[in-house]
Amino acid sequence: MVNCTSEEGRAARPTAGIGGTSLISDERTRPEEHHDEGFLCPSRATIGSCAFCIPDEFAGRGISPVRLYSIASLSLSTNPSHAVHLTSAQANYNESMPDRLPWIAEDPASRRLLELAEKVAAAPTTLLITGESGSGKDHLARLIHELGPRRDAPYLKIDCAALPPALVESELFGHERGSFTGAVDRKLGRLELGGAGTIVLDEVAALSSSAQTKLLRVLQERTFERLGGTETLRIEARLIAITNVDLQAAIAAGQFREDLFFRLSVLPLGVPPLRERRKDILPLADHLLASLGAIHNRPNWKLTEASRRMLSACAWPGNIRELRNALERAIVFGKGPELTPDDFPEALRAAAGGTAMLSGLRSLEQIERDVIVETLEATRYHISKSAEILGISRKTLLEKRKKYGLQ
Contacts by 324-329, CB closer than 8 A, 24 or more apart: 324/288, 324/292, 327/285, 327/288, 327/289, 327/292, 328/292, 328/296
State how far the Cα of 283 lies from the Cα of 274, in Å rounded to an integer. Answer: 12
The predicted pLDDT at position 28 comes to: 37
**The residue type at 190:** R
Tens-digit pLDDT profile for residues 127-159: 999 999 999 999 999 999 999 999 999 999 989
Mean pLDDT of the residues in the chain? 76
Q: Which of 46-55, 112-121, 153-162, 223-232 has the lowest mean pLDDT?
A: 46-55
Q: Which of 26-30, 151-155, 326-330, 352-356 has the lowest mean pLDDT?
A: 26-30
CATH code for residues 364-403: 1.10.10
Coil, strand or helix: which one is 156? strand
Instruction: Judge whether residue 30 has pLDDT over 60.
Output: no
Q: What is the largest CA-CA distance in the chain?
A: 77
Task: Tell me the domain boundaries of the chain.
Answer: 7-96, 108-272, 275-357, 364-403
- The most confident of 4-13, 321-330, 369-378, by mean pLDDT: 321-330
Contact present, 131 and 109 (Cβ < 8 Å): no
State how far the Cα of 284 lies from the Cα of 102, in Å rounded to an integer. Answer: 10
Contact present, 293 and 146 (Cβ < 8 Å): no
Instruction: Judge whether residue 19 has pLDDT over 80.
Output: no
Instruction: Judge whether residue 86 has pLDDT over 50.
Output: no
CATH code for residues 108-272: 3.40.50.300
State how far the Cα of 156 lies from the Cα of 339, in Å rounded to an integer. Answer: 38
Instruction: Judge whether residue 198 has pLDDT over 80.
Output: yes
State which CATH number among 1.10.8.60, 1.10.8.590, 3.40.50.970, 3.40.1390.10 fits the domain covering 275-357: 1.10.8.60
Tens-digit pLDDT profile for residues 35-61: 333 333 333 344 444 443 444 334 444
- Average of pLDDT values for 220-234? 86
The predicted pLDDT at position 101 comes to: 58
Q: pTM of the prediction? A: 0.64
Decide which of 27 and 339 is more confident. 339
The number of CA neighbours under 13 Å toward the Cβ of 233 is: 21
> Percent of the chain, pLDDT > 70?
72
- Average of pLDDT values for 103-113? 90
Helix axes of 108-121 and 137-147: crossing angle, nearest 10 degrees? 40
State how far the Cα of 235 lies from the Cα of 217, in Å rounded to an integer. Answer: 11
Predicted confidence band at 362 (pLDDT cuts at 50, 70, 90)? Answer: low
The predicted pLDDT at position 51 comes to: 40
Which is it for the CA torsion 261, 274, 111, 385, positive or negative? negative
Decide which of 325 and 59 is more confident. 325
- Average of pLDDT values for 252-259? 94
Q: Where are the alpha helices (H) located in 334-393, listed in sequence order?
A: 346-357, 364-378, 383-390
Torsion of CA 57, 59, 62, 65, to 10 degrees: 120
Short-list 171, 153, 154, CA closest to 162:
171
- Average of pLDDT values for 78-84? 40
State how far the Cα of 145 lies from the Cα of 247, in Å rounded to an integer. Answer: 24
